[in-house]
Amino acid sequence: MTTTTHFGAEERLPIAALLALAMTGFICIATETLPAGLLPQMSDGLGVSPSLAGQTVTAYAFGSLVAAIPLTILTQTWPRRSVLLLTVFGFLIFNSATALSESYWLTMGARFMAGAAAGLAWSLIGGYARRMVSAAQQGRAMAIAMVGTPVALSLGVPLGTWLGTAIGWQMAFAVMSGLSALLIAWILIAVPDHPGQKAESRIRLGSVIAMPGVRAVLAVVLLWMLGHNILYTYIAPFAERADLGDRVDLVLLIFGVASLLGIWISGQLVDRALRRSVLISLSVFALMALALGLFGHHPETVLIAAVVWGLTFGGAATFLQTALADTAGEGADVALSMNVVVWNSAIASGSIVGGILLDAAGAGAFPWAVFILAVAGVIVTFGARRSGFRPGSRG
């Protein structure tokens, strides 16, 4: 089965197949964030406190952290479409279990297993998108495959809140199962299969970690995502400083829309200016944090910063995963599974560090922490010129 066609001299991207990968990413993120909009209903339905209901998000993240690397290594030699179908089938089964559950611990178990499916999916999506196209189109293909992430981030919590109010929290998870069933059909129709690695060419985790540039890219992932999640997790108390406490939804909507535009921009730049794009994105992110640190008590500053923040963040997944996959070469799938672990660790660490800062110094300390982390990311990127973030065109 051919994966691309040609129109003149220009290669056409397999849009339907790439959007199926994007839909997989959307389900990953939407499944993760759904409880945030359903905590009161889940608390009542499972007979636990809202704080315990909130741990269903933690269980999901922990599942991704624990399972991403071993499952990726285990399935290295499997046909790629079989692995993709396995992950989506996992969402179908475990979201259905959540929808039917009336037990807190059964729900926690189902959430852990859904997170494990997500960990495998995230390690697969980027490499799968790259396999569908020529080297010159790999960055743009990954940008399309990643578009589900900002859509889910901007819509996941509002979608969960609306569904929980309209049809109940269990039916909200049933809707996610229904989307997974539709996605399985979509994958079977539109996504071409690709072979896994040959058994004799399997690459070990230690070999990938030792590759020049891999650690530098992962360090930038950690620094960038830690800074992002400190601010994103605690955006509500920060917005209150600017009298936007009742308009957090507007701030997040602006951020989400700007992130979508950032993904489009990254698709235009990733194949010809990846290094420069990362340096500019991180530098602008640092300047945005500096502006918030100096003038964050003004609502206009926060709203403008949300636009800039979204623009710089929207392309982050595309730029960083492309750089990591390029650097790791044949070990791309294993490297991307490490990215899942680092990315989720940054999410968890953002909650912890942000909470410490909030208690110790107040929400006004967030921009300064973000500024320091972003500048550190610029320094690491700048130093990874020979491997990790190479100059020039990828082609």
| pLDDT tens per residue, range 346-362 | 887 887 888 899 989 99
Tens of pLDDT along the chain (395 residues) come to 334 433 334 578 899 999 999 999 999 989 988 887 787 888 899 998 887 888 888 889 889 989 999 999 899 889 999 999 999 999 999 999 999 999 999 999 999 999 999 999 998 998 899 899 988 888 889 889 988 877 887 776 677 778 787 899 999 999 999 999 999 999 999 999 998 777 656 677 888 889 999 999 999 999 999 999 899 878 888 999 999 988 887 888 898 889 889 988 998 999 999 999 999 999 999 999 999 999 999 999 999 999 999 999 988 988 999 999 999 988 888 888 899 899 888 887 887 888 899 989 999 999 999 999 999 999 999 999 998 999 988 76
How many beta carbons lie within 10 A of that of residue 280, not counting itself?
A: 14
**pLDDT the model gives residue 235:** 87
CA 103-107-110 angle, 5° bins? 140
Helix then strand then coil, % of the chain, to nearest 5: 80, 0, 15
**pLDDT the model gives residue 376:** 98
| CA atoms within 13 A of residue 57's CA, in its CB half-sphere | 22
CATH code for residues 5-201? 1.20.1250.20
Residues 6+ apart with CB under 8 A from 86: 75, 117, 120
Name the superfamily (CATH) of residues 205-383.
Answer: MFS general substrate transporter like domains (1.20.1250.20)
Q: How far is CA 294 from the centre of its chain?
A: 29
Domain residue ranges in the chain:
5-201, 205-383
- Tens of pLDDT, residue by residue over 108-122, are 999 999 999 999 999
Give yes or no for a contact between 180 and 92, defined as CB atoms under 8 angstroms apart. yes
Tokens found for residue 114: 């859904």
Beta bridge partners of 6: 11
Instruction: Compute the residue count for the chain.
Output: 395
For 81, 84, 106, 119, 208, the CA distances from 71, given in Å and listed in that order, are 15, 12, 22, 8, 16
Q: Do domains 5-201 and 205-383 have the same CATH topology?
A: yes
